[in-house]
Amino acid sequence: MRQRLKLSAALASLLICTSLATPAAPSKTETTMRQYRLEKADKGYRLVQQQAAVPKPGTREVLVHVRATALNRRDLYVLAGQYGPGDLTGKVPLSDGAGEVAAIGAQVSRVKVGDRVAAIFFQRWLAGKPDAASVGSALGGAIDGMLSEYVVLNEDGLVRIPDHLSFEEAATLPCAGVTAWNGLFTRGNLQPGDYVLLEGTGGVSIFGLQFAVAAGAKPIITSSSDAKLEHAKKLGAWQTINYKSTADWDQAVMKLTEGHGADQVLEVGGEQTIPKALGSTASGGHIALIGGLSGWNGQLPAGLLAIRSIRTSGIYVGSRADFEAMNAFIAEHQLKPVIDKEFKFADAPAAFAYMDSATLFGKVVIRMP
């Protein structure tokens, strides 16, 4: 079911440049910082660590001392040159990051110095439906991202993070967490007792598992690894299916739910999994179309959707309002994001390589200096 990106050439060309000493906090004498930027490679881009000036916040802008960042599969597409509006040379990668407010510009009212914050994925999608301007404001793509010791963002593009989370845990939330929340709650209207189908054990699916358990739903998760399925059970999975040993996993879902099917599906597999996801979905159920791990050319049979009253939603992360609602839920239930592995800032290229591994369970994090 899961087809890994062929990134060996891009990953082999990753470059780490020498850097300078780590700044601890903004001061009158501190003027430089470290960050990674994308540089053209034979195939896609490579990461180059550079020294840069610490930026100063302008009107309604905030200087954030980034403490941790996290990777998503989208970042592998960026590195491979398979994502993004035009040439991304010189851009700072990664959409996900958390840190503390180091300084604020004039007229800032949403945050104060010392606040613990995370950046939202789409800097201009605050609530409601997205528009062209908001979709064009994605960190680590259209605009510079979070793999930098300091970043300046508009105050509207930040949210406070739950008090019980570390910076590393909070850094995992902006993309995968909000995507799962949007798919299950904002668009899916998840209810207690709903059967929830989750494909694989990447970031979105594991967040979906945790959210479903906390909401009193019944999550069913798939994987080709029995060890991963055992881990999922410890997180509260109601049922598990090994899709390698159970090729007709859609039928298995129907059997487990006594013919009812999944009320909610987080569809991340793409063209190879969409047919079975449809075969697993209950009448009146909802499919959140999120990813294309096996390709993006899957087809949705309109007749079947109509006859069975199945709703489908295209999910591309979510808004600041989604993020804030999710944070309130996380705080209420004291949820802790699942981090598979943490890397040092100097080892960022290795984090990208690990993100493309078959061993992944949850999120990959880069700790900032």
Sheet-wide strand order for 281-289: 239-242, 218-223, 195-199, 262-267, 281-289, 311-314
Closest-CA residue to 248 (of 268, 269, 273, 225): 273
Per DSSP, the three-state class of 191 is: coil
The answer to the question of residue 180 being in a domain is no
Per DSSP, the three-state class of 207 is: helix
- Asked whether the predicted pLDDT for residue 138 surpasses 90, the reply is yes
Better pLDDT: 151 or 269? 151
- Asked whether the predicted pLDDT for residue 238 surpasses 90, the reply is yes
pLDDT of residue 58: 98
Tell me: do 99 and 239 sit in the same domain.
Answer: no
2/5 Cα distance (integer angstroms): 10
The answer to the question of residue 321 being in a domain is no
The answer to the question of residue 196 being in a domain is yes
The answer to the question of residue 219 being in a domain is yes
CATH number where 349 lies: 3.90.180.10
Tell me: do 303 and 256 sit in the same domain.
Answer: yes
- Pure H helices in 239-290: 249-256, 274-280
Extended strands (E) in the chain = 32-40, 45-53, 61-71, 96-104, 116-119, 150-154, 158-160, 195-199, 218-223, 239-242, 262-267, 281-289, 311-314, 339-344, 363-367
Altogether, the residues listed in the chain come to a count of 369
Query: Position of tokens 């605009």?
Result: 143
324/120 Cα distance (integer angstroms): 10
Tell me: do 140 and 83 sit in the same domain.
Answer: yes
Side chain identity, residue 18: T
- Please compute, for residue 190, the number of CA atoms within 13 A of its CA located in the half-sphere on the CB side: 29
Residue 335 main-chain phi, psi, to 5 deg: -75, 145
CB atoms within 10 A of CB 191: 12
What would the pLDDT profile of 261-315 be if each residue is shown by its tens digit?
A: 999 999 997 777 888 999 999 999 999 999 755 456 667 777 788 888 999 999 9
- Asked whether the predicted pLDDT for residue 7 surpasses 90, the reply is no
Total number of domains constituting the chain? 2
The answer to the question of residue 130 being in a domain is yes
pLDDT of residue 298: 62
293/215 Cα distance (integer angstroms): 27
Tell me: do 355 and 306 sit in the same domain.
Answer: no
CATH number where 200 lies: 3.40.50.720
144/88 Cα distance (integer angstroms): 9
- Please compute, for residue 84, the number of CA atoms within 13 A of its CA located in the half-sphere on the CB side: 29
Tell me: do 25 and 125 sit in the same domain.
Answer: yes
210/208 Cα distance (integer angstroms): 6
Query: In which band, very low, low, confident or very high, does the pLDDT at 5 lie, cut at 50, 70 and 90?
Result: very low
Closest-CA residue to 194 (of 214, 165, 222): 214
pLDDT of residue 369: 82
With 0-12 CB in 10 A as exposed, 13-18 as middle and 19+ as buried, what is 21? exposed
- Asked whether the predicted pLDDT for residue 18 surpasses 70, the reply is no
Q: Which domain holds residue 69?
A: 8-175+337-367
Tell me: do 194 and 171 sit in the same domain.
Answer: no
128/94 Cα distance (integer angstroms): 24
What would the pLDDT profile of 158-195 be if each residue is shown by its tens digit?
A: 999 999 999 999 999 999 999 999 999 999 999 999 99
- Asked whether the predicted pLDDT for residue 221 surpasses 90, the reply is yes
DSSP 94: -
266/264 Cα distance (integer angstroms): 7
Domain boundary (314, 329, 356) is at: 314
Better pLDDT: 217 or 133? 217
- Asked whether the predicted pLDDT for residue 362 surpasses 60, the reply is yes
Average pLDDT of the chain? Answer: 90
- Asked whether the predicted pLDDT for residue 46 surpasses 60, the reply is yes
Tell me: do 18 and 156 sit in the same domain.
Answer: yes
Tell me: do 160 and 194 sit in the same domain.
Answer: no
pLDDT of residue 83: 85
Tell me: do 23 and 116 sit in the same domain.
Answer: yes
CA 112 to the chain's CA centroid: 26
The answer to the question of residue 1 being in a domain is no
Tell me: do 198 and 286 sit in the same domain.
Answer: yes
Tell me: do 29 and 149 sit in the same domain.
Answer: yes
340/230 Cα distance (integer angstroms): 15
Secondary element (H or E) of residue 47: strand 45-53
0.85 surpassed by pTM? yes
Q: What is the CA radius of gyration of the chain?
A: 20
The answer to the question of residue 2 being in a domain is no
Tell me: do 61 and 143 sit in the same domain.
Answer: yes
- Asked whether the predicted pLDDT for residue 14 surpasses 80, the reply is no
pLDDT of residue 300: 75
